[in-house]
Structures are given as C-alpha cells and as structure tokens.
Amino acid sequence: MAATQFPFQPNFYNLEPKYLISLAGNELRTTSAKVADAFGKLHKNIIQRIESLDCSAEFASANFSAHVQQVEVGNGAKRDSKHYEMTKDGFMFLVMGFTGKKAAMIKEAYINAFNWMAGQLLNKPEQKTTVDTRTPLRDAVNMLVAKKKLMYPDAYAIVHQRFAVGHIDELTQDQIPQAVEYVHQLVLEGEWMPAQKELPLVQKGYVLTEQEAAALSGVFSWAKRSASLLKDMEAPLRLLKSSLAPDAFDGGNEIWPHLRNTEKVREYAQQSSLALQRRVLG
C-alpha cells in the first residue's frame, strides 16, 4: 500500500491517553473513530484503509474487531454505524504508512498513550477484599456444601481452581461477585462436581462403647477450643502479614457448622464421658 502524505488537520485537543485508549477485557485498545479524529481524517476512509490492509487473516483477527451500533440521524431515525477496535499492534500496522511531521507527532502521541495506560494498569494496586466483603461468597459456599453434601475444603477448592488462587482472600473486589455467581450456578445447575468417596452404608448404626463416647467428647471439646484459639490468632497473624492468617480464619469459623450438625452426638458423648468419670473417680 502506498504511503499517505497527509494534507490533514489533526485534532491536537484529543490526544489525552484516557481519551485515546480504553481497556477491553484485559487488552488496551483504541478505535477507528478516535484514529480518524486524531489524524483529522474521515472515519469512512480509516475504515476503508483497515479493510484493505495487506496483512494476514490471523493478524487481522487478533488485532482488529468490527462493531456496529445504532446512531440517531435526526427526527427519531436511526442507522447502523460501523467502527473498528484495534490493539496497539493493529494501530501501528494501520498508521505505518502515514508520513509527514504532523503524522509523526500524532503517532508518537498515540504510542505514548498506549504505553502510559499500560504503565497505569501495571502499577494499579489490586483492591483487597475484607472478611465482610467475602461474606456473600462464604454464604454461597455454605449453600453449596449443604446442597451437594461436600466437605468445606472440597467446596473451596472448586472456587480456588476456577479463579487460580490459593485462598479466597486472594480474590480481588471485582472477582467476589463473579465467584458468588459461579457458586450459585453450581448449586442451581448441578455443574460438574468432584467425585466424592462413597461411604459404606450402615444398616443398623454403630453403638459407641462408653470409652469411645468419652474419647469423642474430648475430640469435640478440643475442636471447640482450637477453633476459638484460631479465631483469636487471625487478627495478629494478619498484622504480621503471615500466610497462616487465612488458615486461622478458616479453622476459627468453618468448624462451627459441623459442630452444630452433631449436637445430639456431642450431648451423648458428653453424658457418657461424665458417667465414666463418676464411675472411675467414685
């Protein structure tokens, strides 16, 4: 394609990075309309140039995407208006034939805008979540556990795998509602769930001996004490920025639903333990 020497009137008022460049998904892009505006060209001519670029289909597909939207033309009438979004590579390919001092100035400003926006995204601190902001996700996981009869580690592992994190406190603010929606879908739609170990059926139940019941009472007691201790340790561990803080939170909170579900067993185990102590100690 022949190089284009511009007799144009570039728009120097719209060369701000935030005007030229926008974020589409995880990729920085500009549009054919903004390119036309910046270089002082008719939009239809920029579109024609894009559609006649001598590049491979793979490059065009990766770096240009066509969009159509309706615009008002007066008296309530509307018409379809076509534009292209393009990546930095697409932009560079498009304007490489634009020559002249003014064109060079615009290209430099555009490249600087792409680079500036990339730097802003790179240096943007991720918004951390808090225990409160993660509450909807924990509620959703509780529903999943109850509905699918999962263990909590297995339920959370599904979320971790879906969002490529080691713990839910690594999720960003934006990911929390996505994770909640994902877990709700698992609950409602019965999406793939990890295979659970089949437990042997107990036809007539198992009768605990007095010694076993007393030992079980001790396990329950230590579980409650350990959960309380872990809950108290969470805040100091977070102040120390320890990687153990999420585990302390989990251990201090997620044992309680299990304890509530075994209330009758705990009462029986405690009564058996007391009876055994009275008989042994006199």
Give the model's pLDDT for residue 116. Answer: 86
Q: What would the pLDDT profile of 15-50 be if each residue is shown by its tens digit?
A: 778 888 988 777 899 999 999 998 989 999 999 999
Tens of pLDDT, residue by residue over 102-143, are 899 899 989 998 998 888 777 665 667 788 888 889 888 888
User: Structure tokens of 16?
Assistant: 């701000």
- Looking from the CA of 31 toward its CB, the CA atoms found within 13 Å total 16
Q: CB–CB of 207/164 below 8 Å?
A: no
The two three-digit tokens of residue 266, written as one number:
């705990």
Q: Region 84-94: what's the mean pLDDT?
A: 95
H/E run at residue 82: strand 77-86
- pTM listed for this prediction: 0.42
- Contact residues for 254 (Cβ-Cβ < 8 A; gap 6+): 152
Hey, CA dihedral for 270, 275, 276, 280, is it positive or negative?
A: positive
Place of tokens 């579109």: 47
**Residues whose CB falls within 8 Å of the CB of residue 50, separated by 6 or more in sequence, listed in order:** 32, 64, 84, 86, 94
Measured CA to CA, the distance from residue 267 to residue 161 in angstroms comes to 38
Least confident of 27-31, 192-196, 275-279: 192-196
Quote the CA–CA distance of 56 and 132 in Å, as a whole number.
50
Half-sphere exposure at residue 75, Cβ-oriented, CA atoms within 13 angstroms: 0
Range with the poorest average pLDDT among 71-80, 119-128, 199-208, 232-241: 199-208
For residue 34, the surrounding DSSP H or E stretch is helix 32-39
Q: Residue 216 has what pLDDT? A: 72
Confidence of residue 274 (pLDDT cuts 50, 70, 90): low
